[in-house]
Structure 1
């Protein structure tokens, strides 16, 4: 489901008009309307505010791929999958983060962001600040970091 459709569903589930949601987000009703029509997608910081205001997890607002590493957030392709304790491929982690049922290295979430954000920015065209902000919002929701 595209962001526009998600936003409409979330707004309606919270019984908010476009104007009421706009007031909570400190934007115009026209901005909300343009998001809902799919003309514009808000930046990561606005998505974080939408998530905070509506109580929706940020991952529900983002157009996340079906399979992504539960440690670093990288999109997983069959060639990038890590392995479980038996050596079988797992679609939960990438091979750089997880091998034979164990994390390949100890790190902190902050260090993971510092290491991965520049590559994310380079590969997507977003700014480094946007990449850091996105990873800072997404990583805490991933399996590796939920318990931390």
Structure 2
């Protein structure tokens, strides 16, 4: 797992930008960028989304995302029994058991409904508001397998 401070500095340098140049694009001070890159402070989720847009990277590249998380709801896998199963009963590394079982999604939903359903639970487990969690999910879900191009799990 890469930390935001490291991902931000690395991505900014890869894009050939100085802290001053990135700050100007974000309408903030160079010192704010410096504090983020040293880990003294962290930007909020809305600023992280702006940074990702300015650096032309998925927001997930800048977040402290775990290696494995559900490709439908974004939930981090913390226990082995949280994973879903394929039609043949084998465990999948891609989906949680609440979103996927027996080789198919457990329920039909839209991305917006998923965000509305998951944001309050996420807020209970994090030190963020429901709105911040909804904003984060709005940035992450479109990058997940279930929500890219097709809602069919085997495509």
* Per-residue deviation, residues 30-52 of structure 1 (Å, max 9, x unmatched): 00000010111111100100010
Aligned length: 148
> Where does structure 1 differ by over 4 angstroms across 4 or more consecutive aligned residues?
none
Structure 2 SS opposite 1:60:
helix
- Which residue of 1 is the match for residue 39 of structure 2? 38
- Which residue of 1 is the match for residue 54 of structure 2? 53
- Which residue of 2 is the match for residue 146 of structure 1? 148
Structure 2 SS opposite 1:93:
strand
TM-score by length of 2: 0.93
CA distance in 2, matches of 1:139, 1:118: 16
* Per-residue deviation, residues 15-39 of structure 1 (Å, max 9, x unmatched): 1111110000111000000001011
CA distance in 2, matches of 1:70, 1:137: 13
Structure 1 SS opposite 2:49:
helix
Unmatched tracts of structure 2, length 5 or more: 151-155
Cα RMSD of the aligned pairs, angstroms, is: 0.8
Matches within 5 A, 1:69-88: 69-76=70-77, 77-88=79-90
By how many angstroms is 1:83 displaced?
0.2
By how many angstroms is 1:91 displaced?
1.3
TM-score by length of 1: 0.97
- Which residue of 1 is the match for residue 138 of structure 2? 136
By how many angstroms is 1:125 displaced?
2.0
